[in-house]
Structures are given as structure tokens and as C-alpha cells.
Amino acid sequence: MKHILITGGAGFIGSHLTSFLLNQGHQVTVLDNLQTGSLSNLDFCKDHLGFRFIQQDVCDPIDLEINEIYHLACPASPVHYQADPIKTTKTCVLGSLNVLELAKKNQCRVLSASTSEVYGDPLVHPQVEKDWGNVNPVGIRSCYDEGKRCAETLFMDYHRHHGVDVVIARIFNTYGPRMSLEDGRVIPNFIAQALKNESLTLYGDGSQTRSLCYVDDMINGLTGMMALGKPMTGPYNVGNPDENTVKQIAENIVALTHSKSDMINKPLPQDDPVRRCPDITKLNQATGFAPTVSLEDGLKRTIEYFESKLNISVS
């Protein structure tokens, strides 16, 4: 049994990771300032003897004795990270520094939840880890894009200069239960609009692509990375290489919810990536990772969750 710290553990992915690790028999401490996370995401484990919650900002120094760290703390949707862009950059940089200092002190492995946004609007497709990206450093998304790129720099420099055992996960679009209704990304937007029979909002003409990974597959990818032998720093793309246009995703959700919704088009947001699809060959060769949940099955499970949240039934 290990004592594992999850920063941002009250968020969407973090809460699923908490559940998985507790079920594996580990002791889990979640550190979260609840800026975008929610304690309701952790209702399932609040009475678990191996669980502890600390309400704290990751930008403040952390003093714990732990065996592993999953560093997930950061607003991840454009709506949230653009609401306070300076705070987002601080979270990426100062938060990573504090987590790395803690890993150095405890001599433990730390996983950085980086992002596919380090590739920006990619010039290479599908995205491969050796691609350095095409990011606007002064755009409205740069607080997150460049913040995460700087975090990767810090992780590698702590590894090279201090011997910290790091692994970098570049997370691609992930979806599933416990996503926030106010998330602002494609899946919660479309499902909520479809369940309410409202018009689905497509930005641009809907031809831009996304590759959607169900959260259970994402947890398998992240924990598989953490179990790699030393030194296997990555970075590793983790996601689902099944690519769909945003319009196709919208049509699938309308069909699965039996919605009467139509679709309306609005201008594409600044610096929004036109194509997004991971090449997961590197992670597959290292861990055998391959997504198993189909888009249809994952959407059905996610729709059921949103039905309960909105108290709407389509059955």
C-alpha cells in the first residue's frame, strides 16, 4: 500500500483517479482549492479510512510524507482557465514548483498531467511527442498552453538537475461522468443542450476534429505510466486516436438523446485547434495502453450522468 497525493483530486479526472487508487488498496490524499473541483465528486470516498482531503491551493508550499504524486491541479477548460489567466499561469508554474520540491524531499515519483494543448494548432497530424508545437505565446489561451509547456520544462529540469523521478502525460480530450455542467467544452455543452432540446452550438462549421477518450481509459493510461520502470520520463501522449469531427459528435449526441435539437454555428474562438488526434504508439509500446471504451458506449454513460444531474430522462 502506498500513500498517494493527487493535486486537483476533486476535479473530473482526479476524482476518478482517487476512486481507482482507493479500490487498489492505497491511501489517498487529495489536495484541491475547489476553484473548479467539487467535493460532491468525492462523496463516494468521504468515509473511506484511506482517504484524506486537504483544501489548499497548490501555489502554496506543501508539506506531506507521501510515496507518489499525481499532479492534476489546474483549470482545464477554456472557460475556466481564461477566467483568471494570471492565476492559471501561476498554478501551472508555482504549483509545479511546489509539487516538484515535495517529490524531491520525499524522493518519490511524480506524474505531471500536461495537455495536448502544448501542441497548439498542430502542424503535424496525428500529434507525436517529438513535435514541438505551434502555440501562440500571446493569445488568450497562452496562459494555459504556455503554462503547461513551462511546467514540462520544470519537470525535466528537476529530473536532470535534482534526479527527481518524473513522468509527463500529455492528456488529450477526456470525457465521462462528473464533468461539470459549466465546463464549456464540447461534450457537456452538447449533452446539456440536447437534453434540454436547445440548439447545439457549433463553433466554426463543425469540421474541426477531436479525439475523445473515456475517463476509465484515461485512468488506465495514467496509472500505467506511473508503474513504468525508471527512468521513463516521457512525455507520453495519452488519449484515444479515434478522430471525429465536432459535427459528427453533435449528431451522435442528438441521436443518443432522441433530442429535437437543431444546430447553430458561431465564429471559431481565437487559436482553437482545427485538428486534434494523438499518436499513442509510444505509450502503447511502453505499457500496452489502448483505449477499450467506444465513443457510443462512453457517450451513453455520460448522458446517463447528465440526465441525473439535470433531472431529465430520455428513456
Catalytic residues, by residue number, are 144
DSSP the chain: --EEEEETTTSHHHHHHHHHHHHTT-EEEEEE--SS--GGGGGGGTT-TTEEEEE--TTS------SEEEE--S--SHHHHTTSHHHHHHHHHHHHHHHHHHHHHHT-EEEEEEEGGGGBS-SSSSB-TT---B--TTSTTHHHHHHHHHHHHHHHHHHHHH---EEEEEE--EE-TT--TT--SHHHHHHHHHHTTPPEEEETTS--EEE-EEHHHHHHHHHHHHTSPSS----EEES---EEEHHHHHHHHHHHHT----EEEEPPPTT--S---B--HHHHHHH-----S-HHHHHHHHHHHHHHHHT----
